[in-house]
């Protein structure tokens, strides 16, 4: 089952403000295994399939680092097509000595690492939806150790050959300044459903009964400073709607809750209550 196609709403790409484009480009190509798609003197867009951008790096040498305890991106997550790909990637990181963490979330198995400027990244594979456990409308997710002995049984002889072409942006996890207004923005405004909760600190949201396309949490503290446009880190992310009608409905809903909306060259731009910018597009 594909949760990242019509009729679902999902994240397709992120743009990162970076301090050193040369070093960051090297990381995303050599460590992560993405391929350059388009380049300028101050930017590069990166792809897995040579056609669709997943991550764009834009150099801003004068931008300041994002304060640690502030709203913004927790991590973006690239979804690999096969469990063997995750095994090959983990072995690749071990071979080159790049530090990483890992977790078994029940619905998925994940590896976590940070790029050279501290942006956190998740690389994961989903378990079959038939293996997910639902209690009413909420899916169960765990934070258990990843069984590397079992995972490495899936390694292929060819090993890691770079990011597989079927890799997509699986989800995005955000630090929010607070939950209530942010919840309304993503549910009443953008059209997501709540599919999991973590105490009163985090919400996981999706369409089509995915375990999450977006997650929001207050782990940087309620009232954490909002994201600012002149900081390093995520500049914005792109959210894709299945058609024009669904996008227009979302725009009307955003207006009804008082969310900011701007149209620039046919692109719809909004900002969530924590100062995080989104670009809304259609297929």
Nearest to 283 by CA among 5, 77, 15: 5
At residue 266, the pLDDT reads 85
Q: How confident is the model at residue 262 (pLDDT cuts 50, 70, 90)?
A: very high
Judged against a pLDDT cut of 80, whether residue 1 lies above it is answered with: no
**The pairing of beta strand 120-126 with beta strand 72-79:** parallel
Question: Is residue 100 classed exposed, middle or buried when 0-12, 13-18 and 19+ CB atoms within 10 A define those classes?
Answer: middle
Please write the tens of the pLDDT for every residue from 93-146: 999 999 999 999 999 999 999 999 999 999 999 999 999 999 999 999 999 999
At residue 238, the pLDDT reads 98
201 — phi, psi (to 5°)? -115, -20
How far is residue 95's CA from residue 85's CA, in Å, rounded to a whole number?
A: 15
Find out whether the peptide bond into 147 is cis, omega within 30 degrees of 0: no
Please write the tens of the pLDDT for every residue from 38-52: 999 999 999 999 999
User: For residue 144, how far is the Cα from the chain centroid?
Assistant: 21
Q: How confident is the model at residue 59 (pLDDT cuts 50, 70, 90)?
A: very high
The H or E element containing residue 43 is strand 43-47
Cβ neighbours around 183 below 10 Å, total: 18
At residue 68, the pLDDT reads 87
Q: Any residues with CB less than 8 A from the CB of 91 and at least 6 apart, and which?
A: 152, 155, 159, 160
Domains within the chain, CATH numbers bracketed: 10-282 (3.10.180.10)
Q: Any residues with CB less than 8 A from the CB of 119 and at least 6 apart, and which?
A: 16, 73, 75, 76, 233, 234
How far is residue 115's CA from residue 103's CA, in Å, rounded to a whole number?
A: 18
How far is residue 192's CA from residue 180's CA, in Å, rounded to a whole number?
A: 14
The one-character DSSP state at 70 is S
- Alpha carbon separation from 216 to 179, 219, 283 (Å, rounded): 8, 9, 25
- Alpha carbon separation from 117 to 17, 67, 121, 233 (Å, rounded): 10, 13, 11, 8
Judged against a pLDDT cut of 80, whether residue 81 lies above it is answered with: yes
Mean pLDDT on 202-219: 98
Higher pLDDT, 77 or 67: 77
Look over the chain and give the mean of its residue pLDDT values, rounded to a whole number. Answer: 97
At residue 278, the pLDDT reads 98
Please write the tens of the pLDDT for every residue from 166-202: 999 999 999 999 999 999 999 999 999 999 999 899 9
Six-digit token pair at 226? 């909002």
At residue 283, the pLDDT reads 81
For the chain, the distance separating the N- and C-terminal CA atoms, rounded to the nearest angstrom, is: 18
How far is residue 29's CA from residue 35's CA, in Å, rounded to a whole number?
A: 6
Percent pLDDT > 70 in the chain is 100
> What DSSP letter does each residue of 98-124 carry, written as one string?
---EEEE-SSEEEEEEE-TTS-EEEEE
Six-digit token pair at 30? 């050599």
Coil/strand/helix, residue 235: strand
Cβ neighbours around 244 below 10 Å, total: 10
How far is residue 236's CA from residue 229's CA, in Å, rounded to a whole number?
A: 9
């Amino acid at each position: 089952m594909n949760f990242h196609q019509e009729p679902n709403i999902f994240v397709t790409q992120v743009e990162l403000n970076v301090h050193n484009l040369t070093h960051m480009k090297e990381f995303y190509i050599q460590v992560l295994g993405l391929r350059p798609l388009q380049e300028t003197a101050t930017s590069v867009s990166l792809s897995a399939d040579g056609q669709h951008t997943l991550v764009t790096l834009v150099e801003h040498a004068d931008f300041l680092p994002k304060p640690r305890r502030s709203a913004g991106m927790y991590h973006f997550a690239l979804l690999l097509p096969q469990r063997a790909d995750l095994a090959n990637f983990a072995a690749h990181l071990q071979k080159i000595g790049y530090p990483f963490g890992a977790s078994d979330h029940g619905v998925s198995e994940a590896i976590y690492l940070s790029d050279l400027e501290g942006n956190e990244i998740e690389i994961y594979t989903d378990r079959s939806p038939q293996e997910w456990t639902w209690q009413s409308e909420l899916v169960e997710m765990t934070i258990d150790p990843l069984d590397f002995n079992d995972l490495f049984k899936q390694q292929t002889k060819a090993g890691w050959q770079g990011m597989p072409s079927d890799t997509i942006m699986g989800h995005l996890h955000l630090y929010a300044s607070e939950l209530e207004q942010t919840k309304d923005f993503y549910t009443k405004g953008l059209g997501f459903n709540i599919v999991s909760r973590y105490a009163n600190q985090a919400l996981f949201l999706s369409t089509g009964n995915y375990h999450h396309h977006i997650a929001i949490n207050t782990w940087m503290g309620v009232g954490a400073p909002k994201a600012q446009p002149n900081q390093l880190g995520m500049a914005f992310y792109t959210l894709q709607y299945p058609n024009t009608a669904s996008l227009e409905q979302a725009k009307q809903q955003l207006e009804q809750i008082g969310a900011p909306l701007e149209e620039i060259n046919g692109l719809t731009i909004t900002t969530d209550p924590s100062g995080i910018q989104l670009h809304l597009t259609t297929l």
